Amino acid sequence: MEKLETVKVAGGADYAMVVTRIHSFVQQHANGQILTEIVKDEDGVVVFKAHAVIDGIIRGTGHAMEREGSNNINKTSHYECAETSAIGRCLAMIGYMPSGAIASYEEVENAKLQQSKIKEHELTLTSAVAYISQAFQSAIEEENEEGILEVLADFKGNTSLKTAVWKTLNSEQAEFMTERAKLLAEEKKVKSEEKLATNKKLAKEHADKTLLMANKAKYNKDVKEALATATKTELGK
């Protein structure tokens, strides 16, 4: 197999780009095929499988997964990135790799970008925890319900932030929030019971009114029938 053209990445390692692996494969196997298929596509996550076929026989298989929006490229091209990585890995499985490196240059660069995003997220989370923890603790100490609600609103959809901030509370503050939750639950229960009682009262009033109207209608009907009978009797005399 011919030596693959490589690209150096940080650290000095050599990696072959996927396009280089494909070119080499096509040059050496005129009748070869590279087949791809999606094996999973849900919740913004796509998984591709690629086969390298030589003389009608699958010689190498590779898989790759990408999440939509995980980086700038994947905001619009996570399908393409996953397919490219799967192809690169399947070709690596049959020897199209420099120095035994299965990962392609694209995969390595993508991994570095992912790590950068993770570190950026961790720094952002640390700053957010420091700021929100202070606001949360102050609101609890002052029993400021409006301030507590503002912080709780910041937690929505962010479990990591909620967990990290909650861990900064001391025992007294944590106990206050526990008792607050119990009190709110009791108030909700009372309101629910009051609402149920009100609904039952309204339902009874409606039923009584309906019955009264039905009785009145029946009374009016009976009166009309009695009058009609009396009239016929009078006319028959």
Helix axes 18-28, 74-92, angle to 10 degrees: 40
- Helix H, strand E, coil C: the string for the chain is CCCCCCEECCCCCEECCHHHHHHHHHHHCCCCEEEEEEEEEECCEEEEEEEEEECCEEEEEEEEEEECCCCCCHHHHHHHHHHHHHHHHHHHCCCCCHHHCCCCHHHHHHHHHHHHHHHHHHHHHHHHHHHHHHHHHHHHHCCCHHHHHHHHHHHCCCHHHHHHHHCCCCHHHHHHHHHHHHHHHHHHHHHHHHHHHHHHHHHHHHHHHHHHHHHHHHHHHHHHHHHHHHHHHHHHC
Q: Average pLDDT over the chain, rounded to whole?
A: 78
Asked if residues 39 and 47 have their Cβ atoms less than 8 Å apart, the reply is yes
pLDDT of 110 reads: 59
Give the pLDDT confidence of 94-153 residue by residue, as tens digits.
888 765 454 555 555 555 555 554 455 555 567 777 878 888 899 999 999 988 988 888
Q: Which two tokens stand for residue 162?
A: 């909620």
Indicate the domain borders of the chain: 7-103, 118-169
pTM here?
0.42
Residue range 76-90: average pLDDT? 86
**DSSP-derived secondary structure for 27-54:** HH-TT-EEEEEEEEEETTEEEEEEEEEE
Q: For 2, phi and psi rounded to 5 degrees?
A: -65, 155
Residue range 194-202: average pLDDT? 82
pLDDT of 100 reads: 47
Asked if residues 134 and 147 have their Cβ atoms less than 8 Å apart, the reply is no
**Least confident range of 133-142, 151-160, 184-193:** 151-160
Asked if residues 1 and 95 have their Cβ atoms less than 8 Å apart, the reply is yes
pLDDT of 61 reads: 92
Q: Above pLDDT 90, what percent of the chain? A: 18
